Structure 1
Amino acid sequence: MDRIFIQGLKVAAVIGVHEWERRITQTLCVDLSFAADVRRAAASDALEDTVDYAAVAARLRALGEEAAFGLVETFAERCAERVMTEFDVSWVRVGVTKDVALPGRTEVGVVIERGVPPESAP
């Protein structure tokens, strides 16, 4: 199975467990890959024969604007759910990174996978 990926997508969101974080918008960095059979699109050279990664990116940015999140884990899970349901994807890997105020420049994040990995598919 082929994979489509989006790396370094910037998403603005209200996210964090501290009170001060609930009053600001922070920028998350999202890395996403998902299973897709791109043979038909490669043959037709037509956008309608593949998953439109611009549409996926727009939906994830909208997700960041729609709700506040306490944890990056929650945001990653919602991203996976949205991609799988709205774009009929059977497997997705979502990585979400957030800068945190610790000594030095620190990033924290999570990587989750949902669905059947392409290697496991028949």
Structure 2
Amino acid sequence: MDKVFIEGLEVDTLIGAYDWERGIRQCLLLDLTFAWDIRPAAADDDLGKALDYAAVNQSVQAFADAARFELVETFAERLAEALLTEFGMSWLRLKVTKPGANAQARAVGVEIERSRS
């Protein structure tokens, strides 16, 4: 299985369960890995057959702009569903990191793997 990845994608979103978090946008860092057959694009050196990173980035940012979740877990689950559906990939891994969420740690977050059913 070929994998295409985007690491360290920064998005600002409304995320958090505490009252003080509900009025501010916070940065999340995303690492995404997708199952994507690169052979058709590589065979013809054809950008049109490759996974469009810019389109993925735009989709993730639009999702983050509209999101209003309390939990990082919910953000990750819903984003994974949206990306699998929109881009037709069979599998993805998504790591969502929330820097500064815990004073004793550099960051907290979740990492999930999902596939289309």
CA distance in 1, matches of 2:56, 2:41: 17
Letter of the 2:41 partner, please give it. Answer: A
SS in 2 for 1:23: coil
CA distance in 2, matches of 1:86, 1:72: 21
Closer, same or farther in 2 for the Cα pair 1:47/1:18, shift >3 Å? same
Q: Which residue of 2 aligns with 1:120?
A: none
Q: How many residues align?
A: 116
Q: Check whether the contact 2:2–2:35 (CA below 8 A) recurs between aligned residues.
A: yes
Q: Which residue of 1 aligns with 2:71?
A: 71
SS in 2 for 1:17: coil
Gaps in structure 1 of 5+ consecutive residues: 117-122
Letter of the 1:19 partner, please give it. Answer: D
CA distance in 1, matches of 2:49, 2:101: 43
Q: So what's the TM-score if we normalise by structure 2?
A: 0.93
Closer, same or farther in 2 for the Cα pair 1:40/1:101, shift >3 Å? closer
For 1:20-35, what aligned pairs fall within 5 Å after superposition?
20-35=20-35
- Per the TM alignment, residue 102 of structure 1 is displaced from its structure 2 partner at its CA by 3.5
Closer, same or farther in 2 for the Cα pair 1:101/1:29, shift >3 Å? closer
Letter of the 2:111 partner, please give it. Answer: V
CA distance in 2, matches of 1:14, 1:51: 28
Q: Which residue of 2 aligns with 1:113?
A: 113
CA distance in 1, matches of 2:109, 2:103: 17
For 1:7-46, what aligned pairs fall within 5 Å after superposition?
7-46=7-46
- Per the TM alignment, residue 47 of structure 1 is displaced from its structure 2 partner at its CA by 1.7
CA distance in 1, matches of 2:101, 2:39: 45
Q: Does 1:103 align with 2:87?
A: no
SS in 2 for 1:81: helix
CA distance in 1, matches of 2:41, 2:109: 33
Letter of the 2:11 partner, please give it. Answer: V
Letter of the 1:83 partner, please give it. Answer: L
Q: Which residue of 2 aligns with 1:59?
A: 59
Q: So what's the TM-score if we normalise by structure 1?
A: 0.89
CA distance in 1, matches of 2:30, 2:46: 26
Q: State the 4+ residue runs in structure 1 displaced beyond 3 angstroms.
A: 101-105
